[in-house]
Structure 1
Amino acid sequence: MAQQLPLDELSTVIARIQGLLLTEEKVTTAVRLLAQAAKESVPGTIGAGVSLLDARGRRTSSGYTDSIVRQADSTQYECGEGPCLAAWAAEEPVLVKDLANESRWPEWRKAVAGLPITSVVSAPLMAGRETLGALKLYAATPGVYDETSVRLLQLFAAPAATLLAHIQASEAPQRMTEGLQASLYSRDVVNRACGALMERFGIPHEAALQRLIKLARDENAALQHVSERVLAGTLPAGS
């Protein structure tokens, strides 16, 4: 069972990404710092990496926290397969709970058999309709990551992708675009609303998030709007 990222840590990560855009000028520096932030934010992770890819799936820039990530990623590029490339190509997250029970990417699995990698989760970095690359986490023991880890990585990847797209467009950004501000704000609101529901009902983060999603579906409203109502205390008492 994967551990869950504390809500205050997720808020810190979002704030850190926001600060990066205001202080960092180079894509290479940004991807390295994003990788480090991801590693520190998801419990059980032994290494994290950010890969930016071109339209043919070729690496254009990368940042990693540990040599094991560099080895695992380089092998993916050499083999032309692996969870990072799969997340990029399919534009959806890839979860590997136990590499020993995995049947996908036979060449890559054979190549990394000597590395202490057992669990993997990777999410595409999507800015609008463009997929810039992928963010990935590696763990040494099975079962470190689950569906909750996927959702947490997606919360991290979305503003990170917007940041990277912004930096790529301008090597010396001076201010955040309105789109990035909205992206950061929306995820922070959802995060804080989950915390409010956890405290109100004594439920774990996963249950709180599912409750928010159900409320949004029932009301045919955006998740951000429902989260704002939770924080404002304007939802029915049983919600």
Structure 2
Amino acid sequence: MDFRTKVERARRLKQLHAEYKPLVLPTVWDVWSARTAADAGFPALTVGSHPLAASRGAQDQEGQTFEEVLAAVRPIIAGVDVPVSVDLEAGYGQEPADLVAGLIEVGGVGLNIEDTVHSEGGRLRSAQEHARYVAGLRAAADAAGIPVWINGRTDVFAHAQDAKAVLDEAIERLRALEHAGADSVYPVRIQDDDELLEAVTGAIAVPVNSTAHPVKHDIERFRRLGVRRITYGPLLQLAMTDAMKDMLGPWTP
């Protein structure tokens, strides 16, 4: 993929976030799933770390190296004509400039970056540390001349025993990511809590991403709560696993 095409896809991904409220990015894991989603009419896709790892027999939570991830997503991106974002977990120990360079080289025009550093015992980055990393990603993308869409994720709700008790901290973290240059933000594990979702979307200016289940959730509910971007995480792959088991069950010896 040449430089011009990468720029065009990055600009298209940004335009789609403005056009769709919410923009649904099916989370895919191989060329087949990517082409299936694109052929269904979705204008952009995201590759999830969990389903990608599962498809390769690897572990999620940075159980793959950055080089392995790039090698796996290259044919996915090349196999479709729509923009593709890639979940890069906490960055696989890479410097922001190296992470962006690798992503751009394989044709990715968006990325998801979280604050749980699994390679360091699953510690949670501080708000300032994570914001600095996102700022580095923004600077690297700007220097490369490609407006990579940065989805800044926080796992603070997932780490808390009481999600409502950390709402203020979560909003502080998300605002720090926004100010650091994140194009959208992603508070995980609150997709089923209307109160928390609405509180977050009401406090953040950039699009807020939510996980969704392709069957069990209602897109109109997310729209009503102010969610402007939806990804499936591992839930699309898990839903397809359930469907496959149902189909195969009657034929089990």
Taking structure 1 as the reference length, the TM-score comes to 0.32
Taking structure 2 as the reference length, the TM-score comes to 0.31
